[in-house]
Chains A and B, each alone.
Chain A
């Protein structure tokens, strides 16, 4: 009898947990969302709509892609659930193995558009994806740094990116990754950024990156914002 009561209690507890999960508020963990099957309709957009937007964003960076970006941003603004859904699906589309933007122009376009959306949405759950691809670049070059799409997304997310950027700066063996991390940290700015760069200055092994860290620290105002980007960017030059 006791064991029957125990089993019954456990079932009740399980049911209560299930109900509380189903009635929980906005989804905050995007990776917990199921992937969309071909016939499924998501809460916020149909599979066809997502596919159409992803296709537009994989084919250009001009008007059509801008319109797709804006539609996804508008949808994301509808609810936390929709934002999580869009971030999750976007991350899944962007996170392909062995990405090479020079060989795969569609992925390059998708990243240029996608990183911008993730930045606009302040999608901190995408930080690991973005920071691990900080150095991935297309053939083209612009002082906007849009040819390294992850940089723009990370900078747009801002202060929440600082702990992971700090980690990359202190631990990543790839010097060009550390250089990009300094660029992002200094551009985001603020007291945490100043602290991170101050600490990294004494441990950074590469002389050129140390110079760039020093230039950043020298160029910060009291609030930790770069006073003159033109002067500061002169030190952002450490070719392989």
Chain B
């Protein structure tokens, strides 16, 4: 896992803001990278890796998100949900893989200015894994971001 440096230009690791799509996303960026000894990566969660559909391993990300926005609970936390697909920036070369995510909040809604952000508390418990049948390797960590009085702060750390 990397929380410093960057995945590539425009995709920084660590707390901050990125431009993606038509919006600005605030949160914590991270890069997951690793390798398996053999067998190749065949799936990105449910999606097939078209370059190696027969690969034995699956990369996964599971997230439980809790957010409180302007004083109201938005995401409720609870059991983790599948949170990776082949839409994310990823690279798989043989037995090596890496992908990028930046969970958090999109501040600007281009369709509406009715609900500007006043306060935010976000907590994301994330498990990233590589699985092949009964074999698996897993890392769990928590990302937290807050917005209060016009300022953002971010933190992250490993979970047991």
Contact = CB atoms under 8 A, between A and B. Distances in A.
Interface of A: 60-63, 65-66, 100, 102-103, 105, 135-148, 151-152, 155, 175-176, 179-180, 183, 187, 225, 228-231, 233-234, 236-240
17 contacts: A102-B69, A137-B23, A141-B27, A141-B102, A141-B105, A142-B63, A142-B101, A143-B100, A144-B84, A152-B87, A176-B110, A176-B111, A229-B88, A229-B90, A234-B8, A237-B18, A237-B21
Describe A's contact surface by its main secondary structure. loop
A180 B21 contact: yes
Interface of B: 7-11, 18-27, 50, 63-65, 67, 69, 74-76, 78-91, 100-106, 108-112, 114-115, 122
Contact of B104 (A62, A140, A175): A140
A62 B81 contact: yes
A103 B22 CA distance: 20
Nearest to A231: B8
A140 B65 contact: yes
B90 A137 contact: no
B83 A180 contact: no
A100 B74 contact: no
Contact of B78 (A62, A140, A240): A62
Given A135-B110, A237-B10, A240-B108, A142 B103 contact: yes
B85 A152 contact: yes
A64 B65 CA distance: 16
Query: By CB atoms of chain B within 10 A, which of A63, A138, A239 has the most?
Result: A239
A140 B120 CA distance: 11
Given A140-B103, A142-B83, A152-B85, A102 B21 contact: no
A204 B89 CA distance: 25
A144 B88 contact: yes
Contacts of A148: 21
A96 B42 CA distance: 39
Given A139-B106, A143-B100, A144-B84, A183 B89 contact: no
Given A140-B103, A140-B106, A142-B101, A234 B9 contact: yes
Nearest to A208: B22
B89 A66 contact: no
A163 B108 CA distance: 30
Given A136-B111, A137-B109, A140-B74, A230 B22 contact: no
Contacts of B84: 144
B21 A229 contact: no
